[in-house]
Amino acid sequence: MSVNQHLNAPKNIIISRTDSIGDVVLTLPLAKIIKNKFPEVKIWFLGQAYTKPVIECCTSIDYFIDVKTVIKDNSILAKIEADVIIHVYPNRQVSSIAKLIGIPVRIGTSHRWYHWLNCNFRVNFSRRDSPLHEADLNQFLLHPMGIDSMVGKEDIPNYYQFEKIKPLSGPLKHILERQEFKIILHPKSKGSAREWPLSHYDKLIKSLPRAKYFFFICGTKEEGERIEAEYPSILNNHNVVNLCGKMNLDEYIAFIQISDLLIACSTGPLHISAALGTQTIGLYPPKRNINIGRWGALGTHAKCYSQGSIDCSKCDRITNCQCLQDIFPSFISDKVQSLKA
């Protein structure tokens, strides 16, 4: 039975993705895909509060819901009178609430035991060790709604609808009024990805003509403190400004949009940059399930690079990945110099 057989036309659909920013960005295309089939539907996005600025950039998302408020008070979800909820990221509490309040169509993967209790439409696929990209896997959950044709990775950038960007003002806008090619370096990942060494970022900075290129080191305040403690020379270059902890997420999104290039490992800002259409360079290990094929940034001006053995078996999870070290600064420097402002 499909949702079309179950309902005449859904009025409210909830997309539930309660994990991190990069995952959320790669889930946003679902909203546009759904609206192509159901133009009048309202899309509600259930997520973590800190991802709200990202979600609100998407013109195909009508409303945001904070998952913590829903868990505290399930009447918040009940008031939406949703016809469908799609559990893109499995969350046991959310799936239980969705059943409890009687959402008619509850879609989730069959590979979570609690979905057998709480979901009445279960899609048989597994993300673990899948060779498919995350953006492909997300679309499987639309099949019960009669949306079977897949949007290819090359077309995903047309489905982000990442257009509601709050304007940048004040000193942050002024700092971008430079003649140089403006590059954001986001070295850290809060432990979510294997990282390119700080020494490589430093060598990259030094390899590019100072008169032509200007760099902004970005991240959280804590990440900035770590960078300063672990490799302070990266911040002592004359064409570098440390902006770690100096922007909220709304400001950072706008800052990325105005910049010429962002370079990072597989982390949220990389996917934001790709979705914005900013020139983007992603640095990835070759290991299956965390490689470019699974998590590569998808954007019209996004390029992702990898090096090393497929199993990456001798590498530490975060900072001592030999495969990331083998992406040499000189290689990335050549790629940067081939780009146009």
Average pLDDT, stretch 236-256? Answer: 96
Domain end residue (candidates: 137, 159, 181): 159
- Please name the residue that has the structure tokens 């013109």: 59
| pLDDT value, residue 92 | 97
For 177-233, write each residue's pLDDT tens digit. 999 999 999 999 988 889 999 999 999 999 999 999 999 999 999 999 999 999 999
Same-domain check for residues 153 and 181 = no
Question: For 276-290, how does the pLDDT look when each residue is reduced to its tens digit (9 = 90+)?
Answer: 999 999 999 998 889
pLDDT, tens digit, 9 for 90 and up, residues 60-94: 999 999 999 999 999 999 999 999 999 999 999 99
What pLDDT is attached to residue 211?
95
* 186 and 129 assigned to the same domain: no
Residues 110-120 have pLDDT tens digits of: 999 999 999 99
Return mean pLDDT, the chain.
94
pLDDT of residue 190: 87
Whether 316 maps to a domain, the answer reads yes
Sign of CA dihedral 134, 204, 243, 230: positive
Q: Is the domain of 78 the same as that of 195? A: no
pLDDT at site 340: 83
In a domain, 272, yes or no: yes
Residues 117 and 12 in one domain: yes
Least confident of 28-42, 98-112, 192-206, 314-328: 314-328
Confidence at residue 2, expressed as pLDDT on a 0 to 100 scale: 53
In this model, does residue 1 exceed pLDDT 50?
no
Final residue of a structural domain among 98, 133, 159: 159
Please say if the pLDDT value at position 308 is more than 90: no
Asked if residue 231 and residue 311 are part of one domain, the reply reads yes
Question: Which pLDDT does position 44 carry in this prediction?
Answer: 98
Regarding whether 301 and 245 lie in a shared domain, the answer is yes
**Residue 317 pLDDT level (bands cut at 50, 70, 90):** low
Task: Give the pLDDT score at 7.
Answer: 66
**Domain containing 191: what range?**
172-337
Question: Do residues 189 and 259 both lie within one domain?
Answer: yes
Q: How many domains does the chain have?
A: 2
Taking only the tens place, the pLDDT of each residue in 288-305 is: 889 999 999 999 999 999
Rounded to a whole number, what is the largest CA-CA distance in the chain? 64
CATH code of the domain covering residue 194: 3.40.50.2000
**With 90 as the cut, is the pLDDT of residue 8 above it?**
no
pLDDT at 5 (0 to 100)? 54
Average pLDDT of the residues in 126-155? 93
Judgement on whether residues 95 and 184 belong to the same structural domain of the protein: no
20 shares its domain with 131? yes
Residues 118 and 224 in one domain: no
pLDDT at 4: 58
